[in-house]
Amino acid sequence: MFSVLVSRIVILCLGILYPAYASYKAIRMKSPKDYVKWMMYWVVFSLFTAVETFTDVFLAFWFPFYYEIKILIVLWLMMPATRGSSILYRKFVHPLLVENEQHLDAYIERAKLDSYSVFKEVSGFALQYMARFVVQGTAALQNVAHRSATSLHARNKPAIAEQAAVQPSESVPQVKVKQSRSEPSVSDEDVQIVDPVTRPRRGRKPKASDD
């Protein structure tokens, strides 16, 4: 585990960050010699990274000192004293690319032409899948909302029926009339019935009888 961590740090710092800064300096100073040197390094390092992807899967768990060997290879590629990237590029990479350059260019052009049709088919399939997924998701949400509403109504139905049974049947409330303290109570004995015939009229005196 320690060797894995150390190899990752060394490759990151000495295999990527330092060569990137050196390439920036070569571009800024407009030095053709340094520019060509670091361009060869990046070509070789890209091939090394491609090979590393497979060797990490098949060789890392059983090959002894695998990560230590990777560190030594990266140091050999980038160090100016060894010039490993320049050696590998001139003796192996460059002749191989020159020999297969026409086939590679034809394959790349064919891939560019086919990429549009492939992208169109894949995007159409993706859009159809997304539309189907949205429709199915909306229908599922509607079903869940309907089921939840139905279950909630079924739960509240007994409580509503019980509450209706507990309430009194009288719909008209009883009104209590409070008697005012200032008005005295009047009984039946205090009520005098006055005959309208014998009741004297206001402003006139009753006539005296001849007897």
Place of tokens 């030095």: 31
DSSP 80: T
Span 107-154, pLDDT tens digits: 888 887 877 777 777 777 778 878 888 888 888 888 888 777 777 777
Q: How far apart, in whole angstroms, are the C-alpha atoms of residue 4 and residue 60?
A: 9
Same domain? 12 vs 71: yes
Same domain? 27 vs 52: yes
Q: Would you state the pLDDT for residue 157? A: 65
Q: How far apart, in whole angstroms, are the C-alpha atoms of residue 167 and residue 156?
A: 17
Instruction: For residue 113, give its domain range.
Output: 97-148
Confidence of residue 191 (pLDDT cuts 50, 70, 90): very low
Asked which of 57, 82, 107 is the last residue of a domain, the reply is: 82
Same domain? 73 vs 106: no
φ/ψ region of 197 (left if φ > 0, alpha if ψ in -120 to 50, else beta) reads alpha
Confidence of residue 209 (pLDDT cuts 50, 70, 90): very low
Q: How far apart, in whole angstroms, are the C-alpha atoms of residue 173 and residue 170?
A: 7
Span 3-30, pLDDT tens digits: 788 889 999 999 999 999 999 999 999 8
Whether 194 is covered by a domain: the verdict is no
Percent residues over pLDDT 90 in the chain: 31
- Count the domains in the chain: 2
